[in-house]
Chain A
Amino acid sequence: MSDPKRSMLSVSLEPDPVIELYKRDVDRTLLRENLKLTVEERLQNLMRMQRVAEEMREAGRRAFHGRD
């Protein structure tokens, strides 16, 4: 089993070229909108999204697997 504390000491937070590449595709407009919200509002949005995702999954099951 890996030692979590050892890993804690060995991580560098220098800019990573791979992560820098990924950063180009981050939609910062979404982040800016989220930063205007309170923590509670951000978590409420997540729960709303989870409900929508669940409803879409259920709709997909009905439509594509003939369960209705």
Chain B
Amino acid sequence: MVEIDSLLGVLGRAGVEFIVVGGVAAIAHGSARFTQDLDVVYRRTPENVDRLASALEPYSPYLRGAPPGLPFRWDSETIHRGLNFTLTTTLGPLDLLGEIIGGGGYDDLLPYSSLISAFGVQCYCLGLERLIHVKRAAGRAKDLDAIAELEALRNERGSPD
């Protein structure tokens, strides 16, 4: 299980620049689907990568699905060398994405995002229209149900974002 409230709080209090995307963003928009991890797109500036590394370090980030004992170090250098990380943490599964297909990176997505408030934290969440766009761009058969639901949500809300 992912402690969404705690993870958003940890990232928010550390001043990490990030945008909630994926299943949790869909649920924030009203989706009735289920997800087990938190996906965020983080800004890849050196300062933000440092904040991200420090903020998560107490929660033992490790590569999800990897065998234990790998020489994986969670620090700024590792984040700079990589791009997208699927992690386990003591607060639950967390996907840290430098870029997403169909959406690009943080600066590309920010104009399509809105501030949301939850659990005493304000953070950016990808807008419904762009969420549909990136899921369509990913072209995965498993997303067809989710895209249909997001488009139905758009109809129910009666406005794009």
- Chain A: CB-nearest residue to B144: A22
A42–B27 contact, CB under 8 A?
A: yes
- Chain A: CB-nearest residue to B100: A4
CB-CB under 8 A from A46, the residues of chain B are 4, 24, 27, 34-35
Known interface pairs A4-B104, A7-B102; A22-B148 also in contact (CB < 8 Å): yes
Task: Give the residue of B27, B102, B144, B157 whose beta carbon is less than 8 angstroms from that of A4.
Answer: B102
Task: Please give the number of chain A residues whose Cβ is less than 8 angstroms from any Cβ of chain B in the complex.
Answer: 38
A43–B99 contact, CB under 8 A?
A: no
Could you say which interface size class chain B belongs to? 35 or more
A43–B108 contact, CB under 8 A?
A: no
Task: Give the residue of B32, B35, B144 whose beta carbon is less than 8 angstroms from that of A27.
Answer: B32
- Chain B: CB-nearest residue to A45: B27
Residues of chain B whose beta carbon lies under 8 Å from any beta carbon of chain A: 1-5, 24, 27-28, 30-32, 34-36, 99-105, 108, 116-119, 125, 129, 132-133, 136-137, 144-145, 147-149, 151-153, 156-157
